[in-house]
Amino acid sequence: MDRFTALQVFRHVAELNGFAEAGRRLGLSPAAISKNIAELEAHVGARLINRTTRRMALTEEGKIYLEHVVRGLDALSEAEQALSPLRTGPSGTLRVSAPMTVTLTRLSAAIPRFLTRYPDIVLDLHLDDRRVDLVREGFDLAIRGSDSLEDSSLIARKLTVMRHVLCAAPSYFEAHGRPRVPSDLRSHDCVRFSLSGHADVWEFKKGGRTERVPVNARYSVTSSLAVRDALREGFGLSLMPKPYVEDDLREGRLQCALEDWGTVETTLYAIYPSRQHLAPKIQAFLAFLAEEFGRP
Amino acid sequence: MDRFTALQVFRHVAELNGFAEAGRRLGLSPAAISKNIAELEAHVGARLINRTTRRMALTEEGKIYLEHVVRGLDALSEAEQALSPLRTGPSGTLRVSAPMTVTLTRLSAAIPRFLTRYPDIVLDLHLDDRRVDLVREGFDLAIRGSDSLEDSSLIARKLTVMRHVLCAAPSYFEAHGRPRVPSDLRSHDCVRFSLSGHADVWEFKKGGRTERVPVNARYSVTSSLAVRDALREGFGLSLMPKPYVEDDLREGRLQCALEDWGTVETTLYAIYPSRQHLAPKIQAFLAFLAEEFGRP
DNA sequence: ACATATTGTTCACCGTCAGAGGATAATCCG
DNA sequence: CGGATTATCCTCTGACGGTGAACAATATGT
């Protein structure tokens, strides 16, 4: 027996005061109605409706039962209504995990725009360079660099590719000279971003050839922003994701070298648990990310 | 999809925090659990549980949904608990319809004993010589004389058979003589119980022969008790159900005639709507009736 | 570090059960 | 007294929910 439909049948019969009428309303044959009621009575172990072919009335048990059943069914239908706002419009709490640096350099300035556009969304943004466990910690979405290989069953959506550039302050180049080929770096002061997957060896490509240069660094640090600060001070040179130093390059605080060599690329992904039944709030944030990282 | 089980599955998964565990508890395979959740999500149109093979957590939607679902399911299980006292012990309101005279002569004195034995039963006894419509008027049970032929789908349980006796007061017999054969009645004053099926012609049987005597009555009345009162006053004679005049006969207020002739019999039935899922309160009353009418 | 165990998912297969449809009996209504 | 409506019974069938295997991912233990 499908208890859910049996209960609905019972309710309709009771409220419409008739088997046939209930059948019409529910799109079932009178036979089905009869069967459902009979089975429900067998399940409950009590007669719920006294009936002849022409007349029907709830028994005392039926009245008591109906009362509870109505409450129960209403609560359940309410359950689905409660979800409908979350399904139709982007709303609710959105828990996002993102690496510190990416966020500060490419995202956080735009967040207010996102929140203004979707007034019913509450954003809980955790800046954390750890590779968090999405489901364990209850995140709706995380932003990750490409180092972290594809996880398990999670969905990864590519946001952007960040080219890297070798750069330093003009003062540094004046003092130490400007490298012409990758191997020149052996005699330079490098600043090392220790969380990178390519922290110890830098690769440069040109016309099919690949040069690998061991990094000669006296300063290792776990934040690209700290690296950038060191570069600005003229302390050394480093391989930086280009977007992080865009402003510095434009305004002359930093300069590039070996620009005709290709270097590492970091791909940014948005990671989320499933593609099915994607909540509007998550869809909205994904669209926002795509738009944001789609800019030049 | 059986929505009821799907909801139970969802609840168990959420509360036990795991598909496998829920499956064990519910006696279902993990595959079934997975399927149920997936279908429920499809029905609701939102992801309810984020899950990997090792970890699971409710989404925001899931949390909201769970809350309502729990309330709903609890209300429904309460529904069945609410019936259990009615199922296990005889209790609740018992609506009974019975003919006036039968009740007064054979039952009403015993009713207090019944109510004392079952303290949780409330009795609503309607004395009415009409042949009521059980289901229309919401009666649990009715007592009927045999005149009313077997109804429809209702169940009839035989309670007792009442023999009839021709009787009158001693003073009447002194004044008008005592009939020796049925045909003598033509010259007697009869009192007529007009609701009887045999009001106009009385039948007497003896050794295979049947005598029919038209009733010669100056007084017709719709209550056997009124007939009895008339007899007691010595006004006439009548055919009375024997139990109604038992006391009068024993104490000499009335006397029988034509005792060696067989007469009409009235069978008393208890009528109730269905044999299936007979409520304990009804069972109890039926047993009480059988006991009461089973006495000599 | 490797083997083992556990978990959620997918797939093909199958047994069962809920519903349709027709027939029947009972009952109401004009 | 028919015609109309109603609940119920019966049989048949298609759909659907469950199993059980294989599989992928991830803990756990020695």
Tokens, residue A202? 């830098």
Task: Choose the weakest-confidence range: A83-87, A112-116, B105-109.
Answer: A83-87
Do B205 and B124 lie in one domain? The reply is no
Give the model's pLDDT for residue B217: 84
Report the distance separating Cα A73 and Cα A8, nearest Å: 8
pLDDT number for residue A148: 47
A30 CB-to-strand D distance under 7 Å: yes
Kind and range of the H or E element at B217? strand B217-221
State the CB neighbour count (10 A cutoff) for residue B214.
Answer: 11
**Is the shortest CB-to-strand distance from B57 to strand D under 7 Å?**
no
Q: Which domain holds residue B251?
A: 162-266
Give yes or no: residues A276 and A193 share one domain. Answer: no
Closest CA to B127 of B151, B147, B111: B111
Q: Which amino acid is at A7?
A: L
Averages of pLDDT over runs of 10 residues in chain B (296 residues) are 89 90 88 90 89 86 92 90 82 89 88 92 85 83 71 78 94 94 91 79 90 86 86 92 93 95 90 82 93 82
Say if CB A47 and CB A59 are below 8 A apart: yes
User: Is the C-beta atom of B39 closer than 7 angstroms to strand C?
Assistant: no
3-state SS class at B30:
helix
Residues in chain B: 296
Distance, CA of A75 to CA of B148 (rounded, Å): 48
- A149 contact B CB<8A: no
State the nucleotide closest to A133 in CA–C1' terms: D26
Q: Which residue, chain included where needed, has tokens 């003229």?
A: A234
Which of B68, B88, B153 to mutate to test binding with chain A, by most A CBs within 10 Å of its CB?
B68
Say how far apart CA B168 and CA B174 lie, in whole Å: 10
CA A199 to chain centre: 28
Strands (E) located in chain A:
49-51, 56-58, 92-98, 121-127, 141-145, 155-168, 190-193, 201-206, 209-214, 217-221, 238-241, 255-257, 265-272
Q: Which residue's entry shows tokens 């009403």?
A: B108
Give dist(CA A180, CA B60) in Å, integer: 55
Let me know whether B82 and B171 are in one domain.
no
Interface of B with A in 153-212 (CB under 8 A): 153-154
pLDDT digits (tens, 9 = 90+) for A137-195: 889 999 988 754 555 678 888 899 999 999 999 999 999 999 999 999 999 999 998 77
Q: Percentage of chain A with pLDDT > 70?
A: 97
Within its chain, how far is the Cα of B33 from the centroid?
46
Report the distance from CA of residue B58 to the C1' of nucleotide C11 in Å, as an integer: 27
- Is B53 near strand C, with its CB below 7 A from some atom of it? yes
CA distance B159 to chain A (A): 22
Residue A279 and residue A145 in one domain? yes
* Whole-angstrom distance, CA of residue A48 vs CA of residue A50: 7
pLDDT at B148: 45
Task: Give the number of domains in chain B.
Answer: 3
- Residues A174, A258, single domain; the answer is yes
Q: Which of the listed residues A40, A56, A86 is the one where a domain comes to its end?
A: A86
Note the pLDDT of residue B205. Answer: 93
Based on the fold, state whether residues B192 and B277 are members of the same structural domain: no
Highest mean pLDDT (candidates A23-27, A146-150, A274-278, B198-202) = A23-27
Last residue of a domain, one of A51, A86, A121: A86
Are both A143 and A214 inside the same structural domain?
Answer: no
Local confidence band at A296 (pLDDT 50, 70, 90 cut-offs): low
Residue with tokens 């009345």: B221
CATH number for position B110: 3.40.190.10
How far does B4 lie from chain A, in Å, by closest CA?
Answer: 5
Tell me which protein residue sits closest to nucleotide D7, measuring alpha carbon to C1'.
Answer: A53
Q: Please provide the distance, in angstroms rounded to a whole number, between the alpha carbons at the two ends of chain A.
A: 60
Rg (CA), chain B: 32
Do A120 and A31 lie in a common domain?
no
What single-letter amino acid sits at B32?
A
Cα(A267)–Cα(A192) distance, rounded to whole angstroms? Answer: 19
Does residue A35 share a domain with residue A106? no
Minimum CA–C1' distance nucleotide for B33: C8
Residues A131 and A47 placed together within one structural domain of the fold? no
What tokens does A237 get?
């040179």
Q: What is the mean pLDDT of residues A262-277?
A: 87
Q: Is residue B206 located within the same domain as residue B151? A: no
The answer, for B133 touching chain A at a CB cutoff of 8 Å, is yes
pLDDT computed for residue A149 by the predictor: 52
- Please, which residues have CB within 8 angstroms of residue B106's CB and are 6 or more apart in sequence? B243, B292, B293
CB atoms within 10 A of CB A167: 25
CA distances from A108 to A90, A293, B205 (A): 20, 12, 110
Do A287 and A155 belong to one domain?
Answer: yes
Token pair listed for A234: 């003229």
Which of 273-292 (A) contact B at CB < 8 A? 273-274, 276-279
Q: Hey, is A28 helix, strand or coil?
A: coil
pLDDT for residue A10 is more than 50: yes
CATH number for position A77: 1.10.10.10
Distance CA B15, CA B1 (A): 22
Q: Residue A260 maps to which CATH number?
A: 3.40.190.290
Antiparallel, parallel or unpaired: β B155-168 and B255-257: antiparallel
B115 SS3 class: helix
With CA atoms as reference, report the closest residue to B121 among B288, B285, B9, B292: B285
* Residue B245 · residue B169 · CB < 8 Å: no
Q: Tokens for A101?
A: 């640096």
Domain stop point among B48, B70, B88: B88
> Which residues does residue B224 pair with via DSSP β-bridges, in sequence order?
none
| Interface membership of A92 toward B (CB under 8 Å) | yes
DSSP assignment letter at B237: B
Beta-bridge partner residues of A270: A143, A157
Please name which of A269, A250, A254, A56 lies closest in space to residue A150, comparing C-alpha atoms. Answer: A269
Strand D bases near protein CB (under 7 Å) are 5-10, 16-21, 24-27
CB B34 within 8 A of CB B26: no
- The whole-number pLDDT of residue B244 equals 92
